[in-house]
Structures are given as structure tokens and as C-alpha cells.
Structure 1
Amino acid sequence: METPDPLDSRENQLLAIARTLFARHGYDRTSLRDIAEEAKITKAALYYYFPNKDALFERVVLESLQSLYDETSAAVARAQTPTERIRAFMEASAHVQDHGRDRWIAGSNAFWQGAKEGQRLAALKLRDSYEQLLRQCITEGVASGELRPVDPAMTGRLLLSALNHMPRWHKPGGRLSATEVMQQFLDILMNGLVQDTAASSSAARPAAHPPARKRKPATA
């Protein structure tokens, strides 16, 4: 059995602290000193692992985005139909929130805040790959006739908005997990809110009896 590398373990602890502080206060408002103080080490000791915030950006944002893309693309590949692939994408994304809420929020905060141009471009490329995966599932659903002829980009934004806003109100450890909430969202979004009143009325009405045919008079 391999012995865990203590340096790697310490690095992961520092990353976890950085993600928590980035999620709580934002990337721009968290300094390396804040992270060092939370970890109860000197700033110089922190420099051994992360010489600057740019190094932390790469580990917190780029690795998180890559992990998110890898998990969702694997889930989509296992699904059989376009609508199943849309559900797989969204549920896998919600699963990431369930098992890494700080990672999700910290990555989102840092993505929109201070990053160098090269890092920003790398993050944008990963984000675009992730969003394009969902749009492709929607496009395939329209082409197959499983979905109405909706705009894939607009539909993708709607689905991702539901996902991205969930951490603002959903509490971990609540009655429903993020994945279970997303399953209900998908039922609403995929099936719609409005009842088909014509179909409901038709189903509720008793079947009409055909008019009685007139009998011809009997002949001798």
C-alpha cells in the first residue's frame, strides 16, 4: 500500500482553504495572507506551495472547470437518447454541486474576477466546451424530433441559469439534494407547466355515441 505524500496532502488542504475563502469572500477580496492565516502557517510557507494568486487561480478555476467538463461528458456519453443526454448533463452538473459546493462557487467567483489574459482565455475555452456539450444535446433533440424546434443556445442558457443560481438559495443537507432539485426542475422544464386543456377535456368527456341509424320500413 502506497504511503500518502505529506506534501501533496498539505497542498490539498491549502487548496480546500483557498476554495472556501474564495467562495465566502470572492477571489479579489481574498489575499494570500488570509489563506495563510486560516491555515495557521506563515505567508512564506504558503509561497512554497503557491508563489502567487495566479497559481491558485489555475488550480481552483481551471482544474475545477476541467473536472466539471470531464464528469458531465462522461455522463452524457452513457445516455442513449438526446433527452436522456440533456438530463444526464444537468444531473451530473448538480452532482458536482452536491459534492463540491465551495469548489463550484469559488470557481465561479474567480472566473469573473481578476485573472491574467492567458488564464482567462484558458478558462473561457473550458467553459465554452462545457456549454457547447449541452447545446449539442439540445440540437440533437430538435433534429430527432424529441424536442420542439427551440433555439439551442437560448434553451441552454435557460437550463444553465437554473443550475448556476441554485447555490444562492439551496442549502446543503436540506430536504432535497441539488441533484434531486435539478430532477424536479427538469421535469418542469422538459414537460412544461401548462396543461393541455383540449386533451384534458377530451379525456374527461364520455365517449360520444354514434347517432342511431334510421331503420328502413320492413317490406313484405
Structure 2
Amino acid sequence: MATTAAIKKATRGGGTGVRVDDRQGQLLEIACRLFARQGYKGTSLRDIAEEAQITKAALYYHFPNKEALYQQIVLESTKALVEAVREAVAQAQTPVEKVRAFMLTSAEVFERTRDAWVAGSNAFWDEGGSGPRSVAVSQRDEYEKLLRSCIAEGIRSGDFRPVEPAIAGRLLLSTINQLSRWHSPKGPLSPRQVIEQYLDVVLSGLRTPTPAR
């Protein structure tokens, strides 16, 4: 289970996951919200400046261009996610508990930093190979490798059947990655509750069957 400290570390910016303790942080929060709703290509510096009620010249004082602004959002939010899941996994005892900690912490970070999650996800799947995507890839790889290592540990211990860790990891991550496409904050289940139900199904398939007596 994710610790309070881990979640606070990953959610310094409330719903965005970026720092909001100064003017630059406020601009990041506004930009993050617009990027999540309109996409990187659909959001202009003018949009951000108007939302912040400042001139474009004032925005340039903090960020030289849109890509630099977007990269900082992606970097901060993805780094916070990796730190949170790594801390939660380190506190779990068994491979099964580690997988659950990874997934449930990810769900909690998604719930509290939904805008940043969507913005970062859009950057990762950007087919144009832009700068923001290249920044996201290395951190996303670290995030996915951590889950695969938990699964591989479970296979070695006998808790999980001998599946391919990368395939099992992609299956689990797909449940998290798709949340932003359909989950509503006003729905009956929180992201954590949704992932708990997914885990009940998926982990039963991963576990090594108990020999019949």
C-alpha cells in the first residue's frame, strides 16, 4: 500500500503534480491543465498567457518556448510517479504485495495528478518523436522496468506462474493507462477501487495454482 509520504511527494501540485509554490509553478499548473484538455499541439503559448492573465512576453520570461514548458511538466510528473511507486514497492514484503503496491500507488497518483498524467501520457505516445516524448521515454522505461522486476521476482519465488514478465507487465499497465480515457472523477469508483478490482482478476491468473490435495 502506498505511504502517505510517497503520495504527498508525488502530488505537490494538487491536481497537476507540479510545484505551485511560486509564479512559475502557477504557470506550470495552468499549462498542465490546458495540455491535458487540448493536447500539446492544440495549446498555444497565447492560450496559457491568457489563462494566466499575463502577456506572452511575461510568459517568455519564465519559459523560452512551449516545448520547454511541456518538458518540465512531463519531467516533474513522471519523476514524482517513479519516486512514489519505488518507495511503495520498497516497503512491501512479498512479490504479490509489491505488484499491488506498484499498481495501487499508480492509481492514487493518477487520481491526484490527473492533468499531469494525461499530459505526460500524450507526450509518451506522440508519434512525431518530439522533444517532450524523448524526455518521457527514459523515465517511463524505468517505471515499467520496476513492475517487470516485481513480476520476475514472483516467478523466481514460485508465487507467480512462469509467464513472460514484459507481457504480464504490459497487461497490468494497460489497466492504468486506459483510466484517463474512460474514468470519470464523478463516477461511483475511485481509480484505486477500479485497480483493486482489476488486480483481483489479473493476479488470480498470475498466481501459481495451488496443487490439488
State the partner residue of 2:110. Answer: 97
State the partner residue of 1:138. Answer: 151
- 3-state DSSP class of the match of 1:71? helix
Is 1:78 equivalent to 2:91 in the alignment? yes
Matching residue's letter, 2:69: L
State the partner residue of 1:42. Answer: 55
User: Given the two structures, how large is their TM-score scaled by the length of structure 1?
Assistant: 0.80
Could you say what the CA RMSD is over the residues aligned between the two structures, in angstroms? 2.0
**Pick from 170, 175, 179: which aligns with 1:166?**
179
Give the gaps of 5 or more residues in structure 1. Answer: 1-6, 203-220
- How far apart, CA to CA, are the structure 1 residues paired with 2:107 and 2:193? 8
- How far apart, CA to CA, are the structure 1 residues paired with 2:130 and 2:43? 16
Identity of aligned residues (%): 57
Q: Deviations over 1:74-99 (max 9, x none)?
A: 00000000010000000010011110
Matching residue's letter, 1:170: H
5 Å matches for 1:177-192? 177-192=190-205
- How far apart, CA to CA, are the structure 2 residues paired with 1:68 and 1:92? 9
| Cα 1:76–1:70 shift into 2, 3 Å | same
How big is the shift at 1:111? 2.9
- How far apart, CA to CA, are the structure 1 residues paired with 2:124 and 2:158? 36
Matching residue's letter, 1:69: V
Matching residue's letter, 1:177: S
Matching residue's letter, 2:157: S
User: Given the two structures, how large is their TM-score scaled by the length of structure 2?
Assistant: 0.82
**Pick from 145, 157, 160: which aligns with 2:170?**
157
- How far apart, CA to CA, are the structure 2 residues paired with 1:77 and 1:85? 8
How big is the shift at 1:174? 2.5
How big is the shift at 1:58? 2.2
**Pick from 53, 58, 68: which aligns with 1:55?**
68
State the partner residue of 2:137. Answer: 124
- 3-state DSSP class of the match of 1:180? helix
- How far apart, CA to CA, are the structure 2 residues paired with 1:107 and 1:124? 10
Provide the aligned length of Structure 1 versus Structure 2. 188
Moved over 6 A (4+): none
Matching residue's letter, 1:59: Q
Matching residue's letter, 2:42: R
